[in-house]
Structure 1
Amino acid sequence: MADLELRHLRYLVAVAETGSITRAARRLLLTQPALSRALRSLERAAGVPLLVRGSHATELTAAGAVLLADAYDLLERSRIALERARETETLTVTAPACDVIAVAAASRDFEAANPGVQIDVVPRDWLAPEELRAGTADVSILRDSFDRHGLAVESIMTEPRMVVLGADHPLGERERLTLADLRDETFTYWAGMSGAEAAHWTGADVDGQPRRQSLRIRSVTDVLAAVALGRAVVYAHGSTLPEKLPGMSVRPVEGLSGSRLEVGTPSRATGAARLFVEHILRWPAWRA
């Protein structure tokens, strides 16, 4: 069956209301031949005659009258759908890949309470505050050290971090570790990290020691592979770690700084972005 085109329904309505293809063409700003071709196309799609063409008037067949009744409804529903689409505001929210599940759940809850807003959650392997400054994101979920220039940032929570080791790592036999135990380990190092970010993610922000040996990585997959293969260790925030990590073990570290989870927007964010920030700050999963 051929697709039904809304414009053809509008043409049928015009003919029915004016009683003439000529007058309908004038109303629709079409030539009479063009309108006649479109009406024949509609009849082919329907598979039955819809019009009785006379020398002075055009009338609907019984099938045409049935389609006309539905045409009014379909055209009205399409008008309402377009209006609703124009009224929908989309917010782009970036989040670290490890926090996407929690952010997506909070977004679904927000959309249910705010039908006129749609949330587009975009995972990022690393922090993306520059997207806020560039205007390509409305809200970002951020962690720890980053450039705050031009941003409005609010704290969601601070949580402990732990070290993730390869399953065969000698330190995995101990229940608790210290920063000194890990001082000579190789840590993963994200491309593009600032000095402050690197110090935080290697523990140097606490003990003041020079940054540890580092293995350059570019994705979460790189991190997991490096740890599982015993080539590096990584400090990770506890709320995003699964209970079991195949090929890896997780241990608490005394004296290690926590991970600060924050939400950021461009300065002076208003409207839906501000409402979403307030929703994120109240989201109970962060407190679990």
Structure 2
Amino acid sequence: MPDLELRHLRYLIAVAETGSITRAAQRLTMTQPALSRAVRTLERTVGVPLFVRGSRTTELTPAGAALLTEAYALVDRSRAALDRVRGTASTAETLTVTAPVCDIPAVTAASRSFEAGRQGVRVEVVPREWLSEAEELRRGAAHVSFLRDSHDREGLDVHRLAHEPRMVLLPAGHPLAGRERLTLLDLREEPVTHWAGMTPEEADHWTGADTDPRPRRHGPLVRNATDVLAAVVLGRAVAFAHGSTLPPVLPGLRVRPVEGLSGSSLDVAVPAHGAHPLAEEFLAHAREHWAGACR
């Protein structure tokens, strides 16, 4: 199988951000046919469709959304490698920021705006599955962490950035997929994907048991967002998700609001003691950035 090419990942990012092959080609200063061929080459390389091509827009498939988060990280790391080789990183101060894979695009945007106002400062954004981030921050493997619905705050200085409703992901052929709105009661007998390594509090939140304490069925064990999407598309379970990080089109899936389901919170955290001075600055910047986005 051929290796991924970095330029193809940049093309993926451009098409995803602009929602159009034509607009992405203009951004990349290349022709539309050339970009279309490159995207098809990337899809052959990974072996699955990455985009749903409509008459006016080009949207990510679930596989495309999963690859997009990795693309941001790989392109960012390639830039860091070039900096080191060219010797520019020797005078730069690097801040390591971890974030859930689903929030990487938003966190990357905030990181770039932080860098723009501080010469000689570089932010390395590292994607992580959300269950491991708090521990990484405590043991010094990261300077700042973005946390989704974390119940373990020991030793951390945590600040709320956003809170949003969660919805249910259903396979397109599910009997409930045709309804516009559901309740937790409607979904009580449905198996729900279950993350490996969850604490009881996290499991209750993920499955909706924090607001409806009656027993729920555990579905397949999952370790990343791709596992979640695969379990739902294959009809093995449903999953609850926060809508702001979902692609606008998810082939094979339906997204429905759920009455009574607790929301999802995005927090930013630094160590409670001994935080890096830049980490404190970044925390303040992140709070301003998200407050501006919510206005």
Instruction: Supply the AA of the counterpart residue of 1:92.
Output: T
Query: 168, 185, 195: which is aligned to 2:190?
Result: 185
- In our comparison, the structure showing a higher alpha carbon Rg is 1
Alignment of 1:19-34 (within 5 A): none
The counterpart of 1:237, out of the listed 233, 236, 242, is: 242
Residue in structure 2 matching 1:136, options 141, 144, 158:
141
Q: Which amino acid aligns with 2:282?
A: F
Do residues 256 (structure 1) and 261 (structure 2) align? yes
State the Cα deviation string for residues 119-150 of structure 1 (Å, max 9, x = none).
11111123311000110011010011331111
Aligned-residue CA RMSD (Å) = 1.8
Runs of 4+ in 1 over 6 A off after TM superposition: 81-84
Unaligned runs of 5+ in 1: 1-80
TM superposition score normalised by structure 2: 0.67
Which residues of structure 2 form unaligned runs of 5+?
Answer: 1-84
Name the counterpart of 1:91.
95
TM-superposed deviation, 1:84:
6.3
Distance 2:213 2:226 in 1: 29
Change in Cα spacing, 1:169 to 1:286, as seen in structure 2 (3 Å) is farther
Q: Is it true that 1:124 corresponds to 2:131 in the alignment?
A: no
Q: 1: CA distance between counterparts of 2:130 and 2:178?
A: 31
Give the letter for the 2:286 counterpart: I
Output the CA distance in 2 between the equivalents of 1:184 and 1:115. Answer: 55
The residue matched to 1:205 in structure 2 has which SS?
coil
CA, structure 1 residues 177+91, in 2 after alignment: closer, same or farther (shift >3 Å)?
A: same
Instruction: Give the length in aligned residue pairs.
Output: 208
2:177 alignment partner, SS class: helix
User: C-alpha separation between the residues in 2 aligned to 1:227 and 1:286?
Assistant: 31
**TM-score (structure 1 length as normaliser):** 0.69
Equivalent in 148, 151, 157 of residue 156 of structure 2: 151
Distance 1:189 1:235 in 2: 11
3-state SS, counterpart of residue 249 of structure 2? coil
Percent of counterpart pairs with the same letter? 59
What does 1:189-204 align with in structure 2 at a 5 Å threshold?
A: 189-204=194-209
Report the AA paired with residue 120 of structure 1. Answer: E
Distance in 1 separating the partners of 2:280 and 2:113? 16
Distance 1:226 1:286 in 2: 32
SS at match of 1:182: coil
Answer yes or no: is the 8 Å Cα contact 1:154–1:264 preserved in 2: yes
Q: State the Cα deviation string for residues 96-121 of structure 1 (Å, max 9, x = none).
A: 00000000011111111112211111
Deviations 1:180-208 (A, max 9, x none): 00111111111101111010010000012
The aligned counterpart of 1:171 is: 176
| Matched residue, 1:112 | 116
Distance in 2 between residues matched to 1:133 and 1:213, nearest whole Å:
30
| SS of aligned partner of 2:154 | coil
Residue 85 (structure 1) shift: 4.0
Structure 2 residue 287 is the aligned partner of structure 1 residue 281: yes
